Amino acid sequence: MMPTIHGVFYDISPHWDVEKAKGLDTLVYVTEGKVHYQVEGRLMELTKGDLLFIPSTYTRSWKNDIVEGHRKYTVVFENNERTYQHFVENEIVSFKPRKSAYYEQRLTFLNEQWLSKRVFHEELSQNILLELLIMIAQEKAEWHTSPVKETSVRDMQEYILQHYRRNITIEELAALIGVTPNYVTVLFKEVLGITPIQYLHQTRINNAWNLISTTRMTIKEIAEHLGYCDQSYFNRMFKKWMGIPPSRVKKT
């Protein structure tokens, strides 16, 4: 059985807060900035890359940071007993996912499907959400990775997120964490399941989708802004990660 989705939202610097509420499961992923959640008296500060799962039985509220705005995806849905069998249990889960760029990519695609109301959008949306829930459960079960390796990869992730618009080399990442270039890719893939170059492209394409959806920049301008000198290469990479060409997103 699939979860029943009640709403998929992408908040861009929202000017409102949400008072106490409960009754539906909630999945939150922050893409920019900072936001404050309170769940059953537990205060949590979420920043870029943080994921939060709140079961329906918990009272929750959130408010903006007084200094820094934020952007976040929020999915509210209703589960059934079979949905969580061997997956996410009835508990609060908050962490920075290893494959943060992939989470953002899937949530971006989920949001697009939910808003477009295309044929089979409900079925596709449910499958994407279930995939995310399984990934959360999988990552929870694998939280035994060496803290040193986790820290090294987190440092590389942060470096890529800060400099993704230019061509980052493996040698740069190796110097950052003090290992050999050959070990960088091995370490990154062991912890995140993808290579640093794949992560770089995912980060760029996620930002491309948001720029296409929220600005009047042309596709050529966006490609150049994100470090792609060849627009045709950008188009191929976009379709590879998102499943559709950027021109279709622009039309939508």
pTM for the complete prediction?
0.68
Q: What is the rounded CA–CA span in Å between residue 239 and residue 223?
A: 13
Residue 13 in 3-state DSSP?
A: coil
Q: How many domains does the chain have?
A: 2
Structure tokens at 50: 């943080």
Structure tokens at 166: 């230019």
Residue 58 in 3-state DSSP?
A: coil
Backbone angles phi, psi at 158, to 5 degrees: -60, -40
Residue 128 belongs to a domain: yes
CATH number of the CATH domain containing 53? 2.60.120.280
Based on the fold, state whether residues 174 and 73 are members of the same structural domain.
no
Name the residue range of residue 89's domain: 4-103+119-138
Q: Is the pLDDT of residue 86 over 60?
A: no
Residue 111 belongs to a domain: no
Q: Quick one: how many helices (H) and strands (E) in the chain?
A: 9, 8
Instruction: Give the tens place of pLDDT for each residue, 95-153.
Output: 888 788 889 999 999 999 998 888 899 999 999 999 999 998 888 776 656 778 888 98
Based on the fold, state whether residues 90 and 153 are members of the same structural domain.
no
Based on the fold, state whether residues 86 and 205 are members of the same structural domain.
no
Highest mean pLDDT among 5-9, 16-20, 90-94, 191-195: 5-9
- In three-state form (DSSP H/G/I as H, E/B as E, the rest C), the secondary structure along 89-158 is CCCCEEECCCCHHHHHHHHHHHHHHHHHCCCCHHHHHHHHHHHHHHHHHHHHHCCCCCHHHHHHHHHHHH
Based on the fold, state whether residues 95 and 13 are members of the same structural domain.
yes
